[in-house]
Amino acid sequence: MGLDIKIPKFKFPKFKFKEMDNVEDINIEKEKEKTEKQKKDKKQYTAPEFKTIKEVFNYSMEKYPDNVFILEKPEHKAPYKEIKYREFGDDVINLGTGLTKYLNLKDERIIIIGETTYGWYISYMAILCGAGIAVPIDKELPVNEIENLIVRSKASAVIYSSKKKDLIDKVKDSVPMVKYFIEMNSDDKVKGRDVGLNRVMDEGKKLIEKGDNSFENIQIDPDEFKVLFFTSGTTSQSKGVMLCNRNLAANINACEAYIDMRPNDRWFSVLPLHHSYESTIGFLVPFEVGASIAVCEGLKYILPNMQESKPTAVLCVPILVENIHKNVNKSIEKSGKAAVVNSMIHVTNAIKTVGIDLKKKVFKEVFDNFGGKLRMIVSAAAPLDRKIAKWVQDIGIAMIQGYGLTETAPISALTPDYDPRVGSVGKAVNCAEIKIKNPNEKGEGEILIKSDTLMLGYYEDEEATKEAISEDGWFNSGDVGYLDKDGYLYITGRSKNVIVTQNGKNIYPEEIESILKNYPEIKECMIYGKNQDDSKELTITARVLPDMPEIQEKLGKDKNISDEEIYDIIWKIIKEVNKTLTSYKAIKSLEIKTDDFEMTTTMKIKRYKEIQKDV
Domains in the chain, start-ordered, CATH in brackets?
Answer: 84-244 (3.40.50.980), 498-611 (3.30.300.30)
- pLDDT, tens digit (0-9, with 9 covering 90-100), for 50-104: 999 999 999 999 999 999 999 999 999 999 999 999 999 999 999 999 999 999 9
Q: Please give the average per-residue pLDDT across 268-275, as a whole number.
A: 94
d(CA 139, CA 122): 17
d(CA 426, CA 449): 14
Q: Is the confidence at residue 483, as pLDDT, over 70?
A: yes
Other beta carbons less than 10 A from residue 219's beta carbon: 7
pLDDT of residue 5: 41
How far from chain centre, in Å, is Cα 606?
16
Q: Please give the average per-residue pLDDT across 401-425, as a whole number.
A: 94
Other beta carbons less than 10 A from residue 580's beta carbon: 10
d(CA 25, CA 8): 38
Residue 15 pLDDT level (bands cut at 50, 70, 90)? confident
Look up the pTM and report it. Answer: 0.85
Collapse the DSSP code of 437 into the 3-class scheme (helix H, G, I; strand E, B; otherwise coil) and give the result: strand
Burial 491-501 (b: 16+ CB within 10 A, else e): bbbbbebebee
At residue 489, what is the residue type? L
Top-confidence residue, 578 or 11: 578
pLDDT of residue 3: 32
